[in-house]
Amino acid sequence: MRRFLSYFIFFVVIAFSISAKAQNQRGNQDSVIQLYGVVMTADSLRGIDAASIIIEDKGRGTVTNNEGVFSIAVLKGDRVRFSCVGFKDKLIVIPDKLEGNQYSVIQLMVNDTAYLPATILKPRPTRSQFERDFVNADIPADEIEIARQNNDEAKRRALIASLPADGREAVNANIRQQTQKYYYQGQQQPINLFNPFAWADFIEAWKRGDFKKKN
């Protein structure tokens, strides 16, 4: 008798669970709504193509065709957002107590006006002023002009004076000093105070500005 009672309770529980699952599936099927309609401009009633219809928090959506017509499956209580570039977004809610499984809308979209800062365009007052400004305009030098300026003798001397000596130049200067030292080793080095060639080199260096103070 106890075994029979246990089997009876087990079958009753299974029957109730199957019935509840069937009712739940039937309820879900009843809550599915076919949402369809057209998206149009509010001022000219023109169909908007490629407008987005997104079901919020569901990650689903669709877009309108060339005439602005759309169709999508939704559930009762869903929040549906209509958006398009150049128009303000619209949000609708599917009614919970909707009778039937279809819901149609004609959604009008209002233009979203973007105001840009004012820009004033003024022509040149006179032709003579335009010619004067054109002649006096500071045009940056191109690569050819920069190369020509760098090949100028004064510019090259200034660049040489401002650039530090590299390793090769430093080694050559040290070798020259050592060579001169060993050349006059054991004897008095000549004094160029009365050497006319040395005075000529000194005067040329003075004219070039080699002894000017460098920043």
Q: How many CA atoms lie within 13 A of 72 on its CB side?
A: 25
pTM of the model: 0.44
For residue 21, how far is the Cα from the chain centroid?
53
Number of neighbouring beta carbons within 10 Å of residue 202: 14
Query: Span 61-80, mean pLDDT?
Result: 94
Assigned token pair, 41 = 């401009």
Q: Greater confidence, 35 or 154?
A: 35
Q: Greater confidence, 200 or 191?
A: 200
Query: Span 129-136, mean pLDDT?
Result: 84
Query: Span 77-86, mean pLDDT?
Result: 94
Q: What pLDDT is recorded for position 104?
A: 92
Q: Is 63 exposed, middle or buried (0-12, 13-18, 19+ CB in 10 A)?
A: middle
pLDDT-derived band of residue 48, with 50, 70 and 90 as boundaries? very high
Assigned token pair, 181 = 């030292």
Domains contained in the chain, CATH given: 31-109 (2.60.40.1120), 127-208 (no CATH)
Query: Span 22-42, mean pLDDT?
Result: 73
Is pLDDT above 80 for 57? yes
pLDDT-derived band of residue 144, with 50, 70 and 90 as boundaries? confident
Q: What pLDDT is recorded for position 205?
A: 80
As a whole number of angstroms, the distance between CA 157 and CA 25 comes to 93
